[in-house]
Each structure stands twice: as structure tokens, then as C-alpha cells.
Amino acid sequence: MRWNLAYRTLFHDRGKLIAGSVGQTLYAMVLDRINAYATLRAIGLSERELLSILAFQSALVASIGIAIGAVITVTLKTLLSTPRATIEIPLMLYVGCGVLMFAICLLAAGLPCLRVRRIDPHTALQS
């Protein structure tokens, strides 16, 4: 019982860490290109088009991260599993984690979008 609680706590904290680092990465990606987004807004890009650009970027980051994570998981499962102690990971766990990470990435794209929406294109182009 105690081991189960420690196990769940460990993975719960890792989940928070991963979600935070994904959000921070996406936010930093947008801040690096904030002048480019301001330029696009100045030449007439609508907020909806800007949101679709940011959603596409976060979906791309999520897809790449999910693929890398799945490959690492399957590789470690294959390498560390023995006949006496097999490692079983259900398919639904893979799917659930992938869907959860994809949703976190899309939600994390919302924060930079709010920042980009508040930028005055004229001010950003002067700097």
C-alpha cells in the first residue's frame, strides 16, 4: 500500500513537471518570435489566423514529443523486461498519455496567444 502511494505521488509530480516545461517551452517559442507576430498583425493578420498558427505550432511540438516519448518507452520496456519480470504497459495508457499531452500543449498555446494579442503592432515594429 505504501509503495503504491509513493509510486502515484512520484508520477503525479513528474506529470506536473512535464506539463510545466511544455508550457514554458511553448511560451518561450512565442516570445522569441514576438516581433514577427507583431509584424504579421500589422500587415493584417486576424486574431483567428494568429491563433491557428500558434495552435499548429503547439500541435507539431506535441506530436514530436509524443512520438519521441513513445519510442523511448517502448525501447526501455523492451530492454528492461525479462521473462521473470515482464513490463506490461496497456495500449490505452499510451493513448491516454498521448491525448493528455496533446491537450496540455494546445492549452499551453493559449497563454502566449494572450500575450501576442495585447501587443501593439506599431510599438513592436519600432523596437
Ranges of residues in the chain whose predicted pLDDT is under 50: 1-3, 5-7, 10
Torsion angle of the four alpha carbons 96, 79, 13, 109, in this order, in degrees rounded to the nearest 10: -50
**pTM beyond 0.85:** no
Tens of pLDDT, residue by residue over 85-112, are 888 888 888 888 888 888 888 887 777 7
Burial of 5 (0-12, 13-18, 19+ CB in 10 A): exposed
